[in-house]
Amino acid sequence: MSKTIKLTEVDICDRIRDKVLEQRLAPGTKLTEEALCEVFGVSRNLIRRAFLLLSKDNIITLEKNKGAAVASPSPSEAHEIFEARTIMENALLKQAMERANKASIKALRAHLEREQQALLDGDTPLWIRLSGEFHIVLGRAAQNAPMSEFLDLLVFRSSLILALYGNQSAPTSCKGGEHERLVDALENKDLETARQIMAEHMASLEALLKFDTKDTRQDLHSILGG
């Protein structure tokens, strides 16, 4: 039997964040304390602390006496986040170019494998998450914790934005081997090429956005339960 380790507020955060990254928790979804208590089998106290952390990352909104809801970034916020992300990805790319070693290249290649596999398996949520996580792994290669953690945050928020405004019918980006080409450029220490691929990649992501609102309700148990 699996020993049930006592969950912390951070664990709960991560679980919820993952679902956001997988775009399985839609923006605007109301998160009630009671429901999450059941899902995670913990007390309200812990849930409330997790909410506090998530709200600090702008992954949920927390309004006094109104509770928590998955964040639903406005178009202008969306723009700011993509702008920030473009700048950060570029800055980190430069750092990564200088510092990437065998280990980080290997980690990136391994990640590409997993992306590929998820695509083959038709596991779309996993693939979406891995696509985002690629940029997180890439950021780690720059070996600057504050910066790569900030990028993490922007990647999470990007997921939220894509879930909200992403044009699902459009051919999904990242499938065109852009991630692979980025790793190649990194390995070859070809900063200019890497920058260009990244710029195109970011632009194509942002091009997916269509700013007309949609609204969805969801069942927390089925999403967070697993």
Which one of a second copy, DNA, none interacts with residue 33, CB within 5 to 8 A by kind?
DNA
Which one of DNA, a second copy, none interacts with residue 154, CB within 5 to 8 A by kind?
a second copy
Give the residue with the Cβ less far from DNA, 45 or 168: 45
Share of the chain residues as helix, strand and coil, in percent rounded to the nearest 5: 65, 5, 30
User: Which residue from 198, 137, 189, 165 is spatially nearest to 79, judged by alpha carbons?
Assistant: 165
Q: Is there binding between residue 42 and a second copy (CB under 8 A)?
A: no
- Tell me the closest approach of the beta carbon of residue 85 to DNA, in angstroms: 30
Cβ neighbors of 137 (< 8 A, separation 6 or more) are 107, 108, 111
Question: What residues pair up with 166 in beta bridges, in sequence order?
Answer: 209
Per CB under 8 A, contacts with a second copy among 89-118 are: 91
d(CA 140, CA 96): 8
Which one of a second copy, DNA, none interacts with residue 169, CB within 5 to 8 A by kind?
none
Q: What is the largest CA-CA distance in the chain?
A: 54
Q: Is there binding between residue 75 and DNA (CB under 7 A)?
A: no
User: Which residue from 127, 144, 138 is spatially nearest to 24, judged by alpha carbons?
Assistant: 127
Quick count: other Cβ atoms within 10 Å of Cβ 97? 19
Q: Is there binding between residue 33 and DNA (CB under 7 A)?
A: yes
Give the residue with the Cβ less far from DNA, 16 or 136: 16
Give the residue with the Cβ less far from DNA, 7 or 208: 7
Report whether 216 contacts 26 (CB < 8 A). yes
Task: Please identify which residue in 3, 66, 102, 217 interacts with DNA, judged by CB under 7 A.
Answer: 66
Task: Please identify which residue in 32, 43, 74, 87 interacts with a second copy, judged by CB under 8 A.
Answer: 87
Report whether 62 contacts 175 (CB < 8 A). no
- Tell me the closest approach of the beta carbon of residue 153 to a second copy, in angstroms: 8
Give the residue with the Cβ less far from a second copy, 71 or 130: 71
Cβ neighbors of 145 (< 8 A, separation 6 or more) are none
Quick count: other Cβ atoms within 10 Å of Cβ 210? 13
Q: Is there binding between residue 55 and DNA (CB under 7 A)?
A: no
Cβ neighbors of 126 (< 8 A, separation 6 or more) are 22, 118
Q: Is there binding between residue 4 and DNA (CB under 7 A)?
A: no
- Tell me the closest approach of the beta carbon of residue 119 to DNA, in angstroms: 37
Residues engaged in binding DNA (CB under 7 A) = 6, 30-34, 42-46, 48, 64-68
Residues engaged in binding a second copy (CB under 8 A) = 9, 49, 52-53, 56, 77, 80-81, 83-84, 87, 91, 144-147, 150, 153-154, 157
